[in-house]
Amino acid sequence: MDRFLKIFNLKNMNKRERYAIIGATGVIFVFIVARLIIYPFFSRTEHLRRSLQVKSAMLTEMRQLQSQYLTINQKAKLSLARFQQRPKGFTLFSFLDRLAGETGIKDRISYMKPSRKAEKNSPYKISRVEMKLEAITLEQLTRYLYGVETSANMVEIKKIAISKKDKKQGLINAILQVQTVEI
């Protein structure tokens, strides 16, 4: 303590000034200890806590993505199996024409316009047929749509437009856009 007093020449100061210098030195010492030892410890703890939360959220997201991937992979395998079950030489146009004959609306087809579109960077092609059915009943249309949608050939109705033909007889016109994927 004497050495400390000599350095700062505290002997020449009154008691009040000495206490103020010693108090300020103590505050500075406590600040340095807090800044160099205590703060880094708590900062590290907080950093680890935040890191744990972020990694926990990442794990949850990864599990969700894994679940989605497995679902998509399973659907892809099912789709491939359904593709392989299609009859050899399957065409959407002939399928729709045959189904129209089976449901009794083949004579009501006004037109059928087939088209194909190759997907970029893919071996698959989208095959579409736009067709117009004239003067059919709602029941006939429903049977035809049911036959298209429940087919094992992976055919879907992309668009449909229905308009009334004859209000008295309950006849309608329908324009359908049907599509499927081809390998």
Which letter does DSSP use for residue 119 in this model? P
Same domain, 76 and 116: no
Tell me, what's the pLDDT at 14?
82
Same domain, 71 and 9: yes
Same domain, 98 and 176: yes
Q: Can you give the residue range of the structural domain that contains 129?
A: 92-182
Per-run averaged pLDDT (10 residues), the chain, 183 residues: 58 80 88 82 82 94 96 89 82 92 92 89 87 92 93 90 82 93 81
Same domain, 8 and 60: yes
Same domain, 16 and 63: yes
Tell me, what's the pLDDT at 13?
78
Crossing angle for the helix pair 138-149 and 92-103, nearest 10 degrees?
A: 140
For residue 8, give every residue at least 6 positions away whose Cβ sits within 8 Å of its Cβ, in sequence order, or none: 21
DSSP 22-76: HHHHHHHHHHHHIIIIIHHHHHHHHHHHHHHHHHHHHHHHHHHHHHHHHHHHHHH
Q: Is the pTM of this model over 0.85?
A: no
Structural domains in the chain (count) = 2
Same domain, 61 and 120: no
Tell me, what's the pLDDT at 7?
58
Same domain, 176 and 98: yes
Same domain, 143 and 101: yes
Tell me, what's the pLDDT at 2?
56
Tell me, what's the pLDDT at 10?
65
151, 130 contact by CB (below 8 A): no
Tell me, what's the pLDDT at 6?
57
Distance between CA 174 and CA 160 in Å, rounded?
Answer: 7
Tell me, what's the pLDDT at 143?
94
- Both tokens of 1, joined, read 């303590």
